[in-house]
Amino acid sequence: MTHAILTLNAGSSSLKVSLFPADGDQPMASGVVDRIGAAAEIRLKDRDGQPIATEGSLASHAEAISTVIAGFRGHWPDLALLAIGHRVVHGGPSRTAPVGVDEGLLVELERLSSFAPLHQPHNLAGIRAAMEAFPGVQQVACFDTAFHRSQPWVNDAFALPRQLFDEGVRRYGFHGLSYEYITGELARIAPQLAEGRVVVAHLGNGASMCAIQNGRSVASTMGFSALDGLPMGTRCGQLDPGVLLYLMDQKGMNAAEISDLLYTKSGLLGLSGLSNDMRTLEAAGTPEAGQAIDYFVFRCQRELGAMAAALGGIDALIFCGGIGENSRLVRARICERLAWMGIEIDHGRNAANERVVSSELARTTVMVIPTNEELVIAGGARAIAGRLGQEAA
């Protein structure tokens, strides 16, 4: 038997999948299904980069999941899934760790959909689809909010009437699976730094920063929703709430229209009028693309200052995410005016994409660590499946 753990990350029209061996960290296969519901496309590869053949419908998440598994079964005829781990964006105030899925949990998580309307429903649809396709397999929910539940009250609250806090209107923070991975990696490669004051900048299409003290989240730039903090590919980042009042009062926009504006038409795309993709903006050379990058860099510097203030200083800055891991330009520019924080980039190391990109004598270590959310999900699923298996025995 080939025992394995499947991880699923279901977005609005995409599904990212990885298949891990029962007790290993290197995926046996991974891939993505894009544009589910329209002109869907599937790309699956095994660990040698060989395409995995698939046949079947991709019209819905449920069908895409079945098609993916059928493809894996074709490749490994004796495949036995031990558990399926799901990325779930919102676990609410009480979920601090991965948990086995049952009907009660799904009801609890569905109630949180209004907190993350663009992500949560798709995550839950992915779980339901996997339950339907594989009723006997343990499903495990791994939350993007869980890592941040250690934050102190002052970072958890908004200065709004308390009743709203009690209803759940708080700062949750997201990208927690990525921060958990980076925290673990740092503890492995630089244990002394991991015990100190660390800011992790997860800069991808979604972007946020997290202030971490001795492995625990102290503050993060994302708040109640995945809109706050840094500007992103198509999301606005921090915004004066007065702008929303103006849009409603003066422009007559309703909630759906404002949501569409803030989630899908803003950020790098809105500012550049060109693209949400940093590579395209770096190559474009238009004034608007330049300003979009300037804005992104400036807000990263501001929020980095805020994260360092929350920690009372900074020992290490870690870049991850598509932009953080790959854009030498953005990394160099963010670090440009941060000598006062002890941050000095070594341009040679940065250009070579080395793991440590700060200069030898800099007070603050700057590193690039590729993130791996799938591995954290697989670890969560493995732990829960193992525990429940032991309890049942």
Binding site for ligand ADP (CB under 6 A): 204-206, 233, 277-279, 282, 321-323, 326-327
| Closest CA relative to residue 140, chosen from 21, 8, 14 | 8
Q: Contact 183/195 with Cβ under 8 angstroms? A: no
HSE-CB of 207 using CA atoms within 13 angstroms? 30
- Tokens describing residue 320: 């991850």
| Closest CA relative to residue 209, chosen from 200, 198, 217, 197 | 200
Closest residue to ligand ADP, judged by C-beta, is 322
Contacts of 184 (CB under 8 A, 6+ apart): 376
Q: Which one, 109 or 203, has the nearer CB to ligand ADP?
A: 203
d(CA 64, CA 73): 14
| Angle between helix 61-75 and 120-133 (nearest 10) | 50
DSSP code, position 52? P
Residue 372 CB, nearest distance to ligand ADP (Å)?
Answer: 11
DSSP code, position 358? B
φ and ψ at residue 43, rounded to 5 degrees: -135, 115
d(CA 322, CA 345): 19
How do beta strands 197-203 and 79-88 pair?
unpaired
Residue 323 CB, nearest distance to ligand ADP (Å)?
Answer: 4
Contacts of 372 (CB under 8 A, 6+ apart): 181
Give the catalytic positions in this structure: 144
CA–centroid distance for 62 within its chain: 22
| Closest CA relative to residue 336, chosen from 327, 349, 345 | 345
CA dihedral 204, 68, 127, 378 (to 10 degrees): -60
Q: Which one, 169 or 351, has the nearer CB to ligand ADP?
A: 351
**How many of the other CB atoms lie within 10 Å of CB of 159?**
5
HSE-CB of 187 using CA atoms within 13 angstroms? 12
Three-state DSSP state, 375: helix
d(CA 60, CA 76): 24
Q: Which one, 331 or 382, has the nearer CB to ligand ADP?
A: 331
Residue 105 CB, nearest distance to ligand ADP (Å)?
Answer: 25
d(CA 333, CA 331): 5
Residue 321 CB, nearest distance to ligand ADP (Å)?
Answer: 4
